[in-house]
């Protein structure tokens, strides 16, 4: 498929002009002003011709060949990003018009592609507000689509996105579905907790991308990863319309992991931060984050089965919330029954 161009100089000049985009963003391209490139064996190789519109087959082929990223010229990149933003606005404003599964899945894919752009520009207010409004609309829509929630989860799970992009949405869809199933929460609370869960990892944008692929993290980097919940809080405070209690929940969304570490090491677990909220809501946000993370593979570990991950969750929450833990098991059995 690729047309090989063997000029050393040519490749070095290209490097200055090309911008990475996600393969899925090619669906948003119109007529390309320059070719689309892949980076293969140290050189850029054109895979889609200048002047054409990327076809579904070309995009599928790239995904099948395990390419997550392609490279385009800045002018094409700008147009693609703008088309993506417009498509996201359009779909999340009209989710209930037409086929709900098709619309919901498309909305979630576009939201995820756009999240990648926010990770690259976390201080961009326009991008952040677009993410907020789109995920807010999506949350409301998902509450209305009770019977399709597990289908949406599965559709997003099948996409070839990087785990830092799917983890927030998967954990939030699962959380929303559970909160609704318990009948303990108003729709407004469910919406706010969905948003809290979705935005909790935005601080990952402060961590250089290549570190996510490392099998072993040096000590300094481990601290950087451990601080991502603080980064999330700092990035979001005063910029999105979420109440302080939800922002605090974001700041402490890894408290269960800390509790777990303390249990393992035999230390007593004390909470040092006075802003810390310990309650069912924060426990559930953390629990669904952990379940989704554990049941998916990472570069540094294999995935666990749902059963294995529930063994861990049991140690974290069953003493404080025995009823909710039971409800969680029957909910998950139902959610993943197919
Ligand atoms: Fe996190």
Domain residue extents for the chain: 1-93, 100-335
pLDDT digits (tens, 9 = 90+) for 199-210: 999 999 888 777
Low-confidence ranges of the chain (pLDDT < 70): 1-7, 214, 217, 263-264, 266-278, 338
Residue in 53, 19, 52 with CA at minimum distance from that of residue 37: 19
How many A from CA of 35 to the centre of ligand 1? 37
Residues 6 or more apart in contact with residue 10 via CB below 8 angstroms = none
How many A from CA of 194 to the centre of ligand 1? 14
Q: Give the pLDDT score at 200.
A: 96
Distance of CA 76 to the CA centre of its chain: 25
How many A from CA of 6 to the centre of ligand 1? 44
| SS3 letters across 204-230 | HHHCCHHHHHCCCCCHHHHHHHHCHHH
Q: Give the pLDDT score at 338.
A: 65
Q: Give the pLDDT score at 142.
A: 98
At 281, list the tokens.
Answer: 């809501």
How many A from CA of 7 to the centre of ligand 1? 44
Alpha-carbon gap, residue 248 to 100, rounded angstroms: 33
Q: Give the pLDDT score at 273.
A: 47
Length of the chain: 338
How many A from CA of 202 to the centre of ligand 1? 8
Q: How far is CA 266 from CA 261, 269, 272, in A?
A: 8, 9, 18
Alpha-carbon gap, residue 154 to 307, rounded angstroms: 18
pTM for this model (two decimals)? 0.90
How many A from CA of 199 to the centre of ligand 1? 9
Q: Give the pLDDT score at 266.
A: 66
CATH superfamily of 100-335: Hypothetical protein af1432 (1.10.3210.10)
Residue in 205, 194, 211, 212 with CA at minimum distance from that of residue 228: 205
How many A from CA of 201 to the centre of ligand 1? 5
Give the helix ranges, DSSP H, for the chain. 8-17, 56-64, 74-93, 100-120, 125-144, 149-157, 163-182, 187-199, 219-226, 228-236, 244-251, 255-265, 280-294, 306-317, 322-335
Q: Give the pLDDT score at 269.
A: 55
pLDDT digits (tens, 9 = 90+) for 132-159: 999 999 999 999 999 999 999 999 999 9
How many A from CA of 248 to the centre of ligand 1? 13
Q: Give the pLDDT score at 120.
A: 92
Residues 6 or more apart in contact with residue 320 via CB below 8 angstroms = 283
Q: Give the pLDDT score at 333.
A: 95
Q: Give the pLDDT score at 213.
A: 72
How many A from CA of 116 to the centre of ligand 1? 16
How many A from CA of 285 to the centre of ligand 1? 10
Q: Give the pLDDT score at 6.
A: 58
């Amino acid at each position: 498929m690729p047309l090989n161009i063997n000029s050393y100089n040519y490749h070095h000049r290209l490097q200055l002009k090309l911008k990475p985009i996600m393969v899925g963003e090619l669906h948003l391209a119109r007529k390309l002003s320059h070719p689309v490139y892949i980076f293969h064996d140290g050189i850029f190789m054109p895979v889609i011709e200048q002047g054409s519109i990327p076809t579904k087959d070309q995009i599928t082929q790239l995904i099948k060949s395990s390419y997550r990223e392609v490279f385009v010229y800045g002018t094409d990149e700008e147009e693609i990003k703008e088309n993506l933003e417009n498509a996201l606005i359009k779909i999340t404003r009209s989710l209930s018009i037409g086929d709900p599964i098709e619309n919901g899945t498309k909305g979630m894919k576009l939201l995820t592609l756009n999240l990648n752009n926010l990770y690259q520009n976390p201080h961009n207010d326009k991008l952040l507000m677009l993410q907020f409004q789109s995920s807010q609309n999506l949350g409301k829509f998902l509450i209305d689509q009770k019977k399709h929630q597990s289908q949406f989860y599965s559709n997003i799970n099948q996409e070839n996105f990087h785990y830092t992009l799917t983890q927030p949405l998967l954990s939030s869809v699962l959380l929303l579905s559970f909160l609704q199933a318990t009948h303990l929460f108003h729709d407004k609370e469910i919406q706010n907790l969905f948003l809290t869960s979705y935005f909790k990892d935005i601080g990952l944008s402060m961590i250089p991308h290549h570190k996510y692929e490392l099998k072993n993290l040096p000590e300094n980097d481990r601290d950087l990863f451990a601080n991502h919940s603080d980064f999330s809080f700092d990035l979001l405070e005063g910029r999105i319309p979420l109440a302080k209690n939800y922002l605090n929940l974001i700041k402490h969304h890894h408290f269960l992991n800390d509790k777990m570490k303390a249990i393992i090491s035999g230390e007593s677990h004390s909470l040092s931060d006075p802003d810390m909220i310990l309650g069912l809501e924060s426990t559930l946000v953390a629990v669904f984050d952990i379940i989704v993370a554990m049941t998916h593979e990472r570069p540094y570990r294999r995935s666990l089965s749902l059963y294995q991950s529930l063994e861990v969750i049991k140690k974290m929450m069953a003493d404080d919330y025995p009823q909710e833990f039971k409800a969680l098991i029957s909910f998950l059995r139902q959610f993943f029954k197919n």
